[in-house]
Structure formats: structure tokens, C-alpha cells
Amino acid sequence: MPGTCTLMEDAEDERSSFAWFVTGARGIFSLPAVILMLSFVGFCALTVQAGIPPEQVIFMTGAVWALPAKVILVSSVLGGASLATAFLAVTLSSVRLMPMVAALVPELRGPRTPTWLLLVLSHFIAITAWVFAMERVHDVPRNHRATFFAGFGITLVAANMILVGVVYHLVAEFPPLVAGCLFFLTPVYFLASIWHSARHPVIYVALAAGLVAGPLCYWLAPEFDILLAGVGGGTVAWFGERLWRLRREAKT
């Protein structure tokens, strides 16, 4: 709803920063937050099997935050990796955070948002918070967007730190059917949400390109598959969509 945005900006600008922080924090009751928390229950089961003490799991949740990076960190250590090797594996798998943050920052910042605040807030960005923010931030007046995101991000991280601490001693063995469905929630939710929240045609093309390029690059170069699929698939999608857009504009 691009038309209603400016109207809302006038009408709701009187709401205080605190009110927007609370609105963001209430995102904890949204579908994406619930799905992420279910995924964290699954991750918790993994750490129990790996024999990681609960204090470390809580620290890891707050410090690393991105779930795929944590899974790679845990499996590196279990495989006997040194600090340098583990650092390399996690860093390579997390390059994707850079374009994700870079795409979100222009939507998030207002005219007076300081860079240090964006640097601090960027810690709370992982796939779920990114998808959530890309979907909702357009309904928030621009000068309150950083506050709104802070409310959501900080609440989500804190809630999951508490969650892993609480369920650590409860997750024994899930029935396989439940565990399988919990795991499958994440990819299916990402798919539906990206399609639902796309506001530019290039998103649809890039989504399709990434879905095809991902397995293809895994087959070609398993170590760098995600990075290759993202840069390669994304560039092809952008170029194709741009060509189509320019050609259509030239006709009219």
C-alpha cells in the first residue's frame, strides 16, 4: 500500500518513540517470530546432543544470533576444528548477511538516524528479522523505523535466549514426525513470506533464480554454493528484469 504510507506518516507522527518500540516488540507474537522460536527449540535439541552446557548455548544465541552460523559453529567444533578454521567456516557462510543488511539499511534509516545506531541494530539482523522488517517496515513512519526495528530485534533475541535456557532441560527426544515438521516450517515460511512481501518485480525473478541456482552451485562447488548462487543468480535476475523493464518503458 504505497499510497497510504504518506497519509499514515502525518496522522501517526505524534506517537512517541516508546510506542513504536512497543509496536516492534509486539512482533514477538507474529507468525515469523513463532516459527523462529520453534526452530530454536530444534537447535536446542542439537546442542543437548552435542553436550554443550546451557550457559554457552544462551551466550551463543545472543552473540551469534544467525541460526545457520550457529549450526556451522557447533558442527565445526564437534569436527575438531581450530579457532582459525571455525572462524573461516562461519565467516564464509555469513557473507550473505552483508547484502541482506545493505538492502535493509536504506529502508530502515531516517534522515537523522546515526550510523552507530545502525551498526548496533545490524547485530539483530538474521533471515527472520530481515524478512519481517522488509515486510512490515513500510507501514511505519520513516523517522520511527529504527526504533520499531530495535523493539522487534531486541525482544526477539532476548526471548530466544530465555527460551533456550528454559527448554534446554525439557527437550529430550521429539517424535520424528514432529521434529521433521518443525524443521520444514523454516524454508516454507521463508518462501511464502518473501513472495508475499515483494514490492519490486526483481524480487520474484531473484527468488526463482536463487531456487534454481542453489542446488546447481551445490553440485558444482559445494563449499561456496550459497555465495555463488546469490551473486550469480541475483545478477542474472537483476539483469534480466532490468532488460525487460527498459524494453517495456521504451515501448510506451
Are 200 and 74 a contacting pair, CB within 8 Å? Answer: no
Among 22, 37, 167, 231, binds another protein (CB under 8 A): 231
Among 11, 162, 211, 221, binds another protein (CB under 8 A): 211
Cα(157)–Cα(107) distance, integer angstroms = 21
Are 32 and 131 a contacting pair, CB within 8 Å? Answer: yes
Instruction: Give whichever of 42 and 151 is closer to another protein, judged by the CB atom.
Output: 42
By CB under 8 A, residue 34 contacts another protein? no
Are 124 and 147 a contacting pair, CB within 8 Å? Answer: no
Closest CB 222 distance from another protein, rounded Å: 10
By CB under 8 A, residue 218 contacts another protein? yes
Say what the alpha-carbon torsion angle 30, 186, 155, 75 is, to the nearest 10 degrees. 170
Among 180, 223, 243, 244, binds another protein (CB under 8 A): 180
CB atoms closer than 10 angstroms to residue 55: 10
**By CB under 8 A, what part of segment 136-165 binds another protein?**
none
Quote the radius of gyration of the chain (alpha carbons, Å). 20
By CB under 8 A, residue 118 contacts another protein? yes
Closest CB 42 distance from another protein, rounded Å: 8
By CB under 8 A, residue 114 contacts another protein? no
Cα(112)–Cα(103) distance, integer angstroms = 19
Instruction: Give whichever of 21 and 130 is closer to another protein, judged by the CB atom.
Output: 130
Provide φ and ψ at 8, rounded to 5°: -60, -35
Are 130 and 104 a contacting pair, CB within 8 Å? Answer: yes
96-101 long-range contacts (CB < 8 A, ≥24 apart) are 96/226, 96/227, 96/230, 97/66, 97/125, 97/126, 99/230, 99/234, 100/125, 100/127, 100/130, 101/125
**By CB under 8 A, what part of segment 119-138 binds another protein?**
119, 122-123, 125, 127, 130-131
By CB under 8 A, residue 39 contacts another protein? no
By CB under 8 A, residue 208 contacts another protein? yes
Binding window for another protein (CB under 8 A); candidates: 16-24, 144-152, 158-166, 199-207: 199-207
**By CB under 8 A, what part of segment 69-98 binds another protein?**
69-70, 73, 76-80, 83, 86-87, 90-91, 94-98
By CB under 8 A, residue 169 contacts another protein? no
Instruction: Give whichever of 15 and 142 is closer to another protein, judged by the CB atom.
Output: 142
Are 40 and 164 a contacting pair, CB within 8 Å? Answer: yes
By CB under 8 A, residue 5 contacts another protein? no
By CB under 8 A, residue 213 contacts another protein? yes
